[in-house]
Amino acid sequence: MIVDLGIAAIPTLMKFTHSDSVDIRWWAGTALVKIGPPSVTNLLEVMSEANVNIRILALRSLVEIRDHRAIPVVMKSMSEGSALLQYWAKVGLERLGLDMVYICPEVYK
């Protein structure tokens, strides 16, 4: 049986996302993007953390993976206080084709 080394590396890479080094966090996020959809569940779990730097990295990774499971997190990030979270949320909605404007007809009655 061939073991997928990418999937096996996810737990270690998730630990690196908590590093004090910005470079290490960035490269861990990039590696998670290269692994793709198998890393989405772990990245979604990180989005509930208080550390905004880790959430920015996780959101960037989720956006680059373009998995629809991230839509609720992306939508929630639109109202965050961090400009970088809002930026990646906007990019994510555009990449998923969800950057349309929706109006509520009741408002115009």
C-alpha dist (Å) from residue 105 to 29, 73, 99, 100: 41, 26, 19, 16
Q: Where are the domains of the chain?
A: 5-108
Average of pLDDT values for 78-101? 84
CATH code reported for the domain at 5-108: 1.25.10.10
User: pLDDT digit string (tens) for 16-73?
Assistant: 999 999 999 999 999 999 999 999 999 999 998 878 999 999 999 999 999 989 989 9
10 Å Cβ neighbour count for 95?
Answer: 14
**Nearest partner of 57 among 29, 86, 88, 89, judged by Cα:** 29
Distance CA 74, CA 29 (A): 17
